[in-house]
Structure 1
Amino acid sequence: MLSEQATPVVRATLPVVGAALGEIAERFYAGMFAARPELLRDLFNRGNQANGDQRRALAGSVAAFAGALLKNPDTRPDAMLARIAHKHASLGVTSEQYKVVHEHLFAAIVDVLGDAVTPDVAQAWDEVYWLMANALIALEAGLYEEIGVAEGEVRRPMEIVERRQETADTTSFVLRPADGRPAGPFRPGQYVSVRVELPDGARQIRQYSLSAAPGRPQWRITVKRIEGDPAGEVSTWLHEHARVGDTIEVSAPFGDLVLPEGEGPLLLASAGIGSTPMLAMLDHLATTGSHRPVTVVHADRSPADHAHREELHRLVDALPNGSLHLWYEEPGAASARPGRADVTTLDLPPGVTAYLCGPLPFMRQVRGDLLAGGVAAAAVHYEVFGPDLWLGAES
């Protein structure tokens, strides 16, 4: 918790610091990458830097963490921290890198706020930073220990053993460890980070959900090609260059949006490529012979754009208490409704736990409709591909 000395200072300055966090984050990243260009080349997502998502996510996370310390001084916002820690661990972030971030972040704060950063203000916000950083370092250390690797050493070479074109812009890749061993366990809903070397020598990293159930000797990821450079540089490289027999670097599985134990009812709601973690969950439920009530919602542009469409039908059909509800923006598709997904039309069972994955507007709409319909906020969970711009939402 914050010290007695820091609490009133953070409370008084949070509006000013919060309002300036966007500019602070922009100057922070510019200064850090100027001093340490290898971090942008080989660790940070150049696409998220170019479109500003990473800056907005950093600003949002710091403001949300500080606000949580003030609102609930005796508790820690573990849901938010866990999501960030899993993302960091999948990238191989180390504790030493938090010192680098601290140096350049506080230089940016002073640069933006100037004389407003008195010694008391600097000390209070230093305390906020290290409370957050040390909590993340501890969580990430636990994740590294759980999978039995040294700090940051999360990647291994994996061979592509199958490649399948799912739609015009979506391809799935089946992977196995290059040493011939089984791929290893994971929890349905988790993702891996894939690192590839690009033509300019950068080794960029992107995260992809594991789209088939655990328990097999191989893993599968499904990659949607993203247009634009640098936003789509890794997905484009995989689509254009990754072939059967090639080796790529893949992290251990991470992610906290995972299938819960028990027999309670589930709602799995996705849009577009957000279906991939749901496929792993459904595959696991079908493979284990689950009788849980499972309501599956998926929205897409058209049947032709819906990756793994036939597989989704097959998996839901294999569940004795499963039901599938499809919406396609393109009208006229059989067994689907036109337009955008509307969960208010569904008769959801009491006590349902909801899992959402897809574009942020889709998840905001579905979450809002679920809460309005009486689903508890704590029962609605989500996964964001890329920086989490929704840190204020309960999960």
Structure 2
Amino acid sequence: MDVLAIYACFLLAVTTVGSIVLFRFRRSLLSYLLVAAAYSLAFIWVAFQLGRDIFDSLSMTCIGLFAGGSYFLIFSAMIAWNRFRKLAVFFLGLAIMLDAVALDAFVIEPRSFDVTEYHVGTDKLEKPLKFVVLADIQTDDVGPFEKSVLTRAMQEKPDAIFLVGDYIHAFPADRAEQIERLRKLMKEAGLRAPLGVYATRGDSEDDAWTAIFKDLPVKVFPRSGTVANDVFTVTGLTLGDSFKLNYRPPRVDGLHIMIGHRPDFALSHPDCDLMIAGHTHGGQVQIPFFGPVLTFSLVPRQWAAGGLIHVTGEHGQEAGERLIISRGIGMERGYAPRLRFLCRPELVVITMEPE
């Protein structure tokens, strides 16, 4: 039996038993607290026992929280209504809040995106340049959402486009089809730019990842390297070099942009004018006054949330480098919960301007 089916059976059993206990002892305030505590411990513990990986465990935890939790809150409100009216209203309020969070996290935010604009000054340009960053498209079902993002990206008429990894995150049986669908979308959108389109590898790609861009005008970096045009130089990193702290790009004259999937390379203070990365998804879930819950990166939590970062040195002094981390377009796939909360997908538009 599938682990999700086993978990669903467990939730059905525990909610049934919990409902019977609550109804039997509904006149005791303590019973509501004890059942809530027991259910919370049970659904989390079992999720992490059954999960095939951490993301699978988190998916089951979400089911236990939003489905089972909402049920218990509503049931508790119903049986407490006559004897504990204020407590019942509190339970209903929590249930509404929980359902609102679920609606936003699973339905609204993943299906919409922001266009985030950054303006970066430099003394190495005579006229402004516009760049578009497409990070972490990371889908297992290429369709209208990805099409809308690519269409919006090309409407910006960028001078250059940077793609920083994690394009398709599908199970092996579906991967080839999804790659072909994404390639078709990129062709239909007219993915090109006067000063080039540059792509690096992400965590979800295999060694044959460059085939994603077959017959497309995209400069790929199967190995870390540096290329130049008449206006700027680009250093593209392999996945491995993007999370190492020892890669040193060549010193170049003029504007130098460094791109990699993971942002960890920024901690080594490479000699460049602008660094661009993805990977963190902004955490996908952000908590007010705390930030991303998970980042899977060495960079500070506030960096991983996404944005334009003025990199600081070991002692807090500004080091001069600037780093842009995108929250990305897609989400973690596989067994992961398909959600974003207070962390909408984003298309990043960078305008570099003469100082």
Which category describes the TM-score, using the shorter chain as reference length? Answer: 0.3 to 0.5
Greater C-alpha radius of gyration: 2
TM-score by length of 1: 0.30
Choose between structure 1 and 2 for higher RCO, CA contacts under 8 A separated by at least 6 residues. Answer: 2
TM-score by length of 2: 0.33
